[in-house]
Structure 1
């Protein structure tokens, strides 16, 4: 499969584009979530990325999780879809995007965490009360929403 966004950038340059993608909140048996420490910024985020031509959002989510952290997702449940001004992102290379991101939940996965060092420094599970403060701003609201829903469920 080609790199759709890279091909698109050859035509539009660094101008803002709408980029569809998916990420996954992976939950372990201790109700901790997996965060991925990116190499392009000193930020933690969710494993995920851009959709390629012909992919479904679920296929994107599964592929990105496997590529970034080496885990294979079992069942995926749609958590929410995020878009709008809060999803604007400017990459270190100057490329600008407005993300439309489908976030999935997954608590059944297989494999061992293995970080692709071209995209990440680390990946590990965090208790909900100890989420790092240096979260990517585009996923901070997602994590906050997950924690709040989890808190309400446990009241």
Structure 2
């Protein structure tokens, strides 16, 4: 999202509906380096480690959403993005923000192994950005980290079958 939250599609919608639950399309990006480490961000809202991710803006494709969120939250510009799964579980993909808003995420999950740019946090949505070994993830992470990483593992094990979670 370029600019402020209030100017975003979700921000404008929130001005009308308040904190009531809303369904929101979005994207998550699993960035994996050649060593097999994955990129996580420390979220500004929950102070927990999670994926570069975010909600779609009016007029964006879901791939545009993934690319925009990755660039804004990490400074990286993705090369090819492979769609590997879709998350829409009514319990696991429900987000209750600290200020009271509730969102049910419908998120396309992309995988990227090539990118350009310098890794950096934006200081708002992302407070830190780091690559982690998949067997040494930080304990203070969102539940979406393990579920989404499972998508990548099953995608590979199945020979590339798209995963629904």
Is 1:132 paired with 2:142? no
Find the partner of 1:87 among 77, 93, 98.
93
RMSD over aligned Cα, in angstroms? 1.7
Matched residues, number:
153
Conserved 8 A contact 1:128-1:147: no
- TM-superposition CA deviations, 1:19-75 (whole Å, max 9, x none): 110011001110111000112112111111000000000000000000000000010
Q: Distance in 2 between matches of 1:35 and 1:10?
A: 30
Is 1:24 paired with 2:29? yes
Is 1:64 paired with 2:65? no
Q: Distance in 2 between matches of 1:141 and 1:36?
A: 16
Is 1:118 paired with 2:118? no
Matched with 2:163 is: none
Q: Distance in 2 between matches of 1:116 and 1:42?
A: 14
Conserved 8 A contact 2:84-2:151: no
Q: TM-score, normalised by structure 1?
A: 0.91
Matched with 2:46 is: 41
Unpaired runs of 5+ residues, structure 2, are: 160-165
Decide whether aligned partners of structure 1 residues 39 and 115 sit closer, same or farther in structure 2, where only a CA change above 3 A counts. same
Unpaired runs of 5+ residues, structure 1, are: none
The structure that is helix-richer by fraction is 1
Secondary structure of 1:105 counterpart: strand
Q: Distance in 1 between matches of 2:97 and 2:83?
A: 26
Q: TM-score, normalised by structure 2?
A: 0.86
Q: Distance in 1 between matches of 2:58 and 2:78?
A: 21
Decide whether aligned partners of structure 1 residues 106 and 139 sit closer, same or farther in structure 2, where only a CA change above 3 A counts. same
Q: Distance in 1 between matches of 2:157 and 2:49?
A: 22
Q: Distance in 1 between matches of 2:150 and 2:141?
A: 11
Q: Distance in 1 between matches of 2:154 and 2:107?
A: 19
